[in-house]
Amino acid sequence: MFLGAVFERELTFAPRAQGFFVARAVYCGSLFGIIATCWLVVTATQSIVTAGDTARFGATLMRILAPLQLAIAMLAAALTSAVAVSTEKDRRTLELLLVSRMSDAQLVVGKLAGSLVRVLLLLVSAVPVFAIATLFGGITFEQLLRLFLVTTAAALAAASIATAVAFWKETPFQSLAFTAFLLASWLAAGEVVAGWYGTVAGAIASPARAALAAIQPLDSQSILPFLGLCAGVVATSNLLATTRVRRWNMASEARQAVAPVMHATAVVASKRSIARHVWNNPVLWRELCTQAYGRTIVLVRIAWLLLFIAAVAGIVSAAQTTRPDRLSVAVAVLPMALASLLAVAALAVTSITTERDRGSLDLVLVTDLEPAEFIWGKLLGTLGVAREIVLLPLLLCAALVVAGVASLENGLYLALGLALLLFFTAVLGLHVGFSYANSRHAITVALGTVAFLFVGVATAMRIMVAFGSSFELQLAPFLAVIVGGAVGLYAALSARNPSAAIAWASALLPALTFIAITSFLQGNSLQVLLVAAVAYGFATLAMLVPAIGAFDLLTGRTTNSE
């Protein structure tokens, strides 16, 4: 096959995996549940009596589903591609691929196409559900085709970026962090272009605006410029990865040639220096004082600084208007917040999976380290290594206050809530890293859970604002979504160590999140913070306490039979 053995293997085995069938069923069921929820919400708050009413409902429904599917497709494609290459590096199998008969182009494009098989089939499975939505009216099959073309092109571009970054960077965390940074920068740049040059130019540069433009009347705007942009991103990313893949990943012989020189340099340096003092918690010392996450992690910190500067510029630009637009402020803040949450989760989960893949976790387990020392060392080490990723989003809250966009009270509430979410994602990453023996599954579940919570909250807010003003009456229509979210969280978090605390946390988190959303839309900022503190604080403890108390069971030191 032209794309090589890597793609042929993925094409043969990926559709047969049991998890793939479950993913398609869950995705299509979720989309159908959203359609049913929207219909229940609109019929409970409005009267639908004419064909025009149903057509307006169909058009509004598509404006909710289009950005949702775009976000899921781009995140899934990018994360799947980055993880596919990063796990090859961690397991030392990429070197075997480099010495095989495959060409560089077959290796790069084969890994890209293989990782996209699941995502593309997921989009195909969603076509009938979207076709059901068109029965309400307000949108044609031609508009639906345009939407899926835009979504597929954006997903392919995101996956190409992630593949190139993963071949470039040396650790899974760096690959995932840079991918999140580049995607957030793309979305933010698109909004900047839209603000400077208008919505037409924004639909060319921004995937979100291109998706919304695709479902507009057919004669309003062409999607060809955006498709051309995505084609350019795909070609550039794959060409760069193909020409640089062997320089980025030196063969073993090259490293062995350089090793004597490096060893001699280290010996000379050691004679001139004093031995380093290891802290009382050696795990924390290793996380903070060594190059455990790669030699070029400083580039991740520089990238986050640039993202912070761009977000501050967006806040200042919004503050200069007579009446700051909420959407403009959200565009300035949310991409960085989501990228930071994903990066922290990625760092936490890979801090466990990398140890397992390299065999160093087994060495740690035979030492006299206490479970609390290991867990807190990893957790505090994660937050310490990602200090810029953690602190810069909190400084954005201060920028909102200084710019006059938010009051001091609301800025404080926002900072406390964001800090709570960052700590929650760090604990979530550790918990999932212990719960799944397969590194690819662990990273996918951790980042997927964070993305699910973030995208789910945004979708729920969009539905509540679009279809009704009486938020208290919308609890009944959202019950199915709340129950489905609880079941999904429990399935993801209790894979290896089920507990009553995790079951309660999974059950309460979606319901309390709905209450927090309602309070936010009603302007009760303090209530939002209190509800979020209870919901995510309890969920954090439900994962953290078992991680320490059942450490031996999670790591395989003991079994249930013992």
Tens of pLDDT along 461-507?
778 777 665 555 666 667 777 888 888 888 888 766 778 888 888 88
The yes-or-no verdict on residue 281 having pLDDT over 70 is: yes
For residue 43, give its domain range.
5-250+289-555
Helix (H, G, I), strand (E, B) or coil at 39: helix
Q: Which of 136, 73, 84, 142 is nearest to 110 (CA)?
A: 84
The answer as to whether 274 is a domain residue is no
The answer as to whether 142 is a domain residue is yes
53 contacts: CB under 8 Å, gap ≥ 6? 46, 47
CA distances to 14, 113, 126, 421, 422 from 120, in Å: 12, 10, 10, 31, 31
Which one-letter DSSP state was computed for residue 123?
H
pLDDT for the residue 234: 95
- pTM of the prediction? 0.85
The answer as to whether 266 is a domain residue is no
The answer as to whether 21 is a domain residue is yes
Distance from C-alpha of 399 to C-alpha of 319, rounded to nearest angstrom: 10
The answer as to whether 49 is a domain residue is yes
The string of pLDDT tens digits covering residues 412-452 is 999 999 999 999 999 999 988 888 888 888 888 888 889 88
309 contacts: CB under 8 Å, gap ≥ 6? none
The answer as to whether 512 is a domain residue is yes
Tell me which of 432 and 4 has the higher pLDDT: 432
**Number of domains the chain is built from:** 1
CA distances to 170, 183, 230, 540 from 207, in Å: 29, 10, 9, 34
**Total Cβ atoms within 10 A of residue 19:** 11
Distance from C-alpha of 293 to C-alpha of 385, rounded to nearest angstrom: 9
For Cα atoms 23, 148, 331, give the angle at the middle one, nearest 5 degrees: 85
Residue % of the chain over a pLDDT of 90 = 20
Could you tell me the pLDDT band of residue 315, with boundaries at 50, 70 and 90?
confident
The answer as to whether 497 is a domain residue is yes
The string of pLDDT tens digits covering residues 49-75 is 788 888 888 888 888 889 899 999 999
pLDDT for the residue 256: 40
pLDDT for the residue 269: 42
**Total Cβ atoms within 10 A of residue 159:** 30
Distance from C-alpha of 516 to C-alpha of 534, rounded to nearest angstrom: 11
CA distances to 43, 85, 261, 301, 501 from 163, in Å: 45, 7, 32, 21, 38
The answer as to whether 278 is a domain residue is no
Distance from C-alpha of 103 to C-alpha of 122, rounded to nearest angstrom: 29
